[in-house]
Amino acid sequence: MEWVVVGGCCITFMAAMLNVVFLIHLGASVSHLTGDLSRFSNDLLEGGWEAEPLRYLLAALVGFIIGSTISGYFIHHPRLDLERPYGRSIILIGCLIVGCYWMLEVGTAWSVFLASLACGYQNALASRFHGMVLRTTHITGLLTDLGIHIGMKLKGHTIDGWKIYLPGLLVASFFMGSLLGAWEYRQLGTDLILYLGIAYIVGGVGWTVLKRWKMTR
């Protein structure tokens, strides 16, 4: 249970940092698309839409779907399982983030695509944990689960404590990641994306080494 909490909070925290950098720098979200799609729909009706936001939205939509598809292909099953190659997956996400950093100089839409692909891959890594749907790139589903379980608890139903504190911790991690990401962006600019990619790679290597060490004991 502990590794689920720590690992989930860490990647949620970093995904929030990545997303807030793109929101500030380009005005485009890469970790969740509900707001961007709603905003574009309104702009479309008002006749005020522009080509660049549309490119970002399409790049993010396609990237997120492809990332989720790749995750489904390699991980095979949405249930958390230590035997699955999560370390290599986190390394891949880090490489994609480093790639999107370099693509900022070439084409911003391509950078959005790679960042969303990384987030889509991450979000699909482990969708279920003991029946609970986990999300590590946005908080809508987490808030829903948190509210449902609190309501059931108030009603008198028996609810395991972790079903309340796990989504609560993930929501808090996303908030703190967004807060720190906005602050760090003011200090580092888009270089923060590169540092996030490196952090993912280091974390993925560390997890792989730790997993192999535990298997040999």
pLDDT, one tens digit per residue, over 51-106 is: 788 889 999 999 999 999 998 887 766 566 666 677 888 999 999 999 999 999 88
> What pLDDT score was predicted for residue 146?
86
Query: Structure tokens of 108?
Result: 């911003």
pLDDT per position as a tens digit, 20-45: 999 999 988 999 888 888 887 877 77
Q: Higher confidence at residue 166 or residue 78?
A: 166
- Note the pLDDT of residue 198: 97
Tell me: pLDDT of 124 over 90: no
pLDDT grade for 172, boundaries at 50, 70 and 90: very high
pLDDT given at position 19:
96
